[in-house]
Structure 1
Amino acid sequence: MHYEGNMIRPPSEAYSILLQATVGCSHNKCTFCAAYKGERFKIKSDDIIMSDIEFAARHCRNQDRLFICDGDALIIPQKRLLAILKEIEQKLPWVNRVGVYANTKGIAMKTSEELAELRAHGLKIAYMGLESGDDETLKAVNKGADSQKMIDMGKKIRAAGVALSITVLLGLAGRERSEIHAQKTGEVLSAIDPEYVGALSLMLIPGTPLYDEYAAGRFPILTPEETLVELRTMITHTNLSNGLFHANHASNYLPIRAKLPEDKASTLRLINQALAGKIRLKPEHMRGL
């Protein structure tokens, strides 16, 4: 396989074939993210992509999922992306799910018919970073889309039959807007109604603009207890028809895996028990990205 730069994939794609079709992220301006720092976005040549599919056909027969890297492969023009999916269908017939990262820009560039066409040729899941449902927070971290755009694009890709996994970031709004961030995020998640939600806890990375804000004393990091209160508020305002809400990433203080709506009450009780000191939280040195 021909890999370049700092490749990132979702935790749920840990055992997937990783096919790198793009390098970096076309937005790459979020103030909290250092994933593709210093990398210039590009779409790799079809020759390299197809040769990597050929490699996978010979060496990856025990992996039935494939993830197209990097940051937003959905931005690849329709004709080229469709050709990649068709090649995967032909050369890797045992692969039963293809996934991509999808930002609002990439989804907006595709018509509903084009998204359905991609779904028909194996694109089964997309991962979208919402981070927050609060417009002020989204603007502050330079996310590049407001909450309504997130809702519209999330609904659009779901309507095409592609499962949606959304990431939100606890602590991203700081202390002053913590409650608003949590409530608005729950409301946006409810409006989109994705199949999966992953809540991560903010970990500041040196070299990012948000870290610089923290170092200058202008951005406060939430305590573990404040983070749990934010999570409680977020779940309280999140109403999914049939979704999984995970907060079991390495960055989280309290691992949570809840099926909504049925596990909502028990999950809120669990958080309350942790806040009351009855459940031990993950120590700081054991957290990770």
Structure 2
Amino acid sequence: MSLLPLNYVEPLYRPPSEAGSLILQATLGCSWNRCGFCEMYRSKQFRPRPESELFAEIEAITKLDSLPRKLFLADGDAMVLSSRRLLSILHKVQTELPKVGRVSAYAMPRNITNKSDRELRDLRQAGLRLLYVGIESGDNEVLQRIDKGETAASTIEALCRTRAAGIKLSVMIINGLGGASLSERHALHSAEALNAIQPEYLSTLALMLPEGEQRFREGFDSDFQLLERGALLSELEQFVSHCELKNTIFRSDHASNYLALKGILGRDKQRLLTEIRTAIDTPEHAPLREMWQRGL
């Protein structure tokens, strides 16, 4: 139970880097909620929360002894809200919580596409500084099979416009998402997409299906094969080797990953590749996590 004066509707999710942020549920659930690998918001029916509820919660926060410096707009895609509604929320935060220096949110490319360049700049000016975007893959066949509702081109266009507006990006790729048959194209095309976007932050996690594989497999042929540790590491090596990123902070330290990696692409690219290759060739000399440590 939260000790904050906020009426959270669980389950509640936020990125690991938002651990110290105030979480404000601008929407409940996910407006798309069809991705084959994702179970996060299956128990929720999507709806925007009334502005009056949000404003009352923001005003209640002002009475706390310690005021937040960062704020995360939940749930799955607050950016689906109109620019008018988002700006109203952001202006309320600026007025009532002046110590907040950064507002962030999850976003889907389609909801960025629905906003003009001017609207994106206005949102940035009003305090929206960072968007977390699950690209998942840069390969169109993989995206189609998982029912992402995006293409590589639509994702690249939306995210390049986001960066041009001055909003930073933290993007995610899912290692193993295409299975064995689509592994190579998933790695190569994902790297190509990232090279076009040049995000500030990049993370990878390994495919996890804690609720079972049946629904996920519906989008694939019957011969879909999950990648084991060696194949996951080989795919990751191929992905990193084809990334030509200038100054992207890279993390592959999610609980799902066998091998924890941290660095800056491209400054640390060769070191990261060496660590991956060592884990492949001599796993006994690498700090690999066992399956139970990955929560599987």
TM-score by length of 1: 0.95
- The aligned amino acid for 1:36 is Y
Whether 2:123 is the aligned partner of 1:115: answer: no
Q: CA RMSD in A?
A: 1.7
Map of 1:288 onto structure 2? 295
User: Hey, what does 2:147 align to over in structure 1?
Assistant: 142
Distance across 2 between alignment mates of 1:126 and 1:177: 28
| 1:171 aligns with one of 173, 176, 184 | 176
**Post-superposition shift, 1:157?**
0.7
Where in structure 1 are there 5+ consecutive unaligned residues? Answer: none
The answer to whether the aligner puts 1:85 opposite 2:85 as a matched pair is no
- Aligned with 2:79 (options 53, 74, 78): 74
Match of 2:158 in 1: 153
The answer to whether the 8 Å contact 2:68/2:97 transfers is no
1:209-262 deviation digits (Å, cap 9, x = unpaired): 544559x96432111111111111111111112111110111111001110111
| Alignment-mate amino acid for residue 9 of structure 1 | R
Equivalents in 1 of 2:251, 2:295: separation in Å? Answer: 16
**Which of 221, 225, 237 is 1:220 aligned to?**
225
Matched position secondary structure for 1:164: strand
SS at match of 2:276: helix
Residue 60 to residue 41, structure 1, CA distance change in 2 (3 Å): farther
Contact persistence 2:67–2:97 (CA under 8 A): no
Separation (CA, whole Å) in 2 of partners of 1:71 and 1:203 = 18
Question: Quick one: structure 1 residues 159 and 60, their matched pair in 2 at CA, closer, same or farther if it must change by over 3 Å?
Answer: farther
| Contiguous gaps of at least 5 residues in structure 2 | 1-5
Closer, same or farther: CA 188–120 of 1 in aligned 2, 3 Å? same
- Distance in 1 between the 2:182 and 2:222 partners? 16
Distance 2:157 2:256 in 1: 29
Local SS of the residue matching 2:90: helix
Deviation per residue, 1:166-222 (Å, 9 max, x gap)? 0110010000111110111011000011000110101113256544559x9643211
Selected match of 1:51 from 43, 51, 56: 56
Sequence identity, in percent? 39
- TM-score (normalizing by structure 2): 0.93
Instruction: Please tell me whether residue 12 in structure 1 is matched to residue 17 in structure 2.
Output: yes
SS at 1:174's partner residue? coil
Q: Residue 40 of structure 1: CA displacement? A: 1.3
Give the aligned partner of residue 63 of structure 1.
Answer: 68
Q: How far has the Cα of 1:64 moved from its partner? A: 1.2
